[in-house]
Amino acid sequence: MVNLLQTRRLQRYRMALLRLKKMGLQKTFSHSLSEETGISAVLIRKDFSQLGIRGRRRGGYNIDRLLEQLKLIFGSEKEQNVILVGLGNIGSALVKYEGYRQGNMNLVAAFDIDPAKRTRRYQVPVYSLENLRDVTDTFDVSVAIMAVPEFSAQETASYLVENGIKGILNFAPVLLKVPDHVLVNNINVMVELERLMYHTGIKQKA
């Protein structure tokens, strides 16, 4: 019912709506949202319409109601637990990050092969991957952030999947081979930078 492209947009709507709400607004219009999100007004209306969210022909959309309905669609009233694997540069940054709560998430544990990393210096307990199953069982975790080096990425991913992980946020620049029921989202800083380089380069030539 809701496809991948849409989820991305829905989140943009949500973020924009939260911003507008914080500014004290109570209602909004497809055009304002468009302004705020960069998504065309028609498309916004189509999305809402398709999701069964309806506005008023002149009064626009009620922000609170909208947020509520988006929350329903995104599901997960209850907080969801996440784990983090790999405490390198990116991993350590993510363990210090404080925004999980805001997104209704909770980072419950981190994992690293290096015993030196497994100290109490971090905000969450750090374990060896051997303890993975314990943690996933205890906290009912199905999503993992994976910030491990490229060479061990596939192995780690397979291990995570074996132990019940169904969603992986992967920072390694490799295409992970996982079963169909597992979803991988990739974040690759270098790739994004290179794309910028390429396009600024093009502009110079033109």
Partner DNA sequence: CATAATATGTGAATATATTCACAAAGCAAA
Partner DNA sequence: TTTGCTTTGTGAATATATTCACATATTATG
From the list DNA, its own copies, none, pick the one residue 25 interacts with, judged by a Cβ distance below 5 to 8 Å according to partner type: none
**Can you give the binding site for its own copies, defined by CB under 8 A?**
2, 4, 7-8, 11-12, 15-16, 19, 36-38, 74-76, 80, 82, 89-90, 92-94, 96-97, 99-100, 102-103, 105, 142-143, 145, 166-169, 173-175, 181, 183, 185, 187, 189-205
Burial profile 115-153: b = 16 or more Cβ within 10 angstroms, e = fewer: eebbeeebeeebbebeebeebbeeeebebbbbbbeeebb
The residues that touch DNA, with contacts defined as CB under 7 A, are 3-5, 29-31, 40-43, 45-46, 48-49, 54-61
The closest of 153, 164, 162 to 186, measured between CA atoms, is 153
Q: How far is the CB of 197 from DNA (least distance, A)?
A: 20
CA dist 17 and 33 (Å) reads 8
Least Å distance between CB 160 and DNA? 26
When the beta carbons of 59 and 115 are compared against DNA, the nearer one is 59
Q: CB–CB of 142/116 below 8 Å?
A: no
- The listed partner (DNA, its own copies, none) that binds 72, CB under 5 to 8 Å by sort, is none
Name the binder of 57 from its own copies, DNA, none, CB < 5-8 A by kind.
Answer: DNA
Cα(23)–Cα(188) distance, integer angstroms? 33
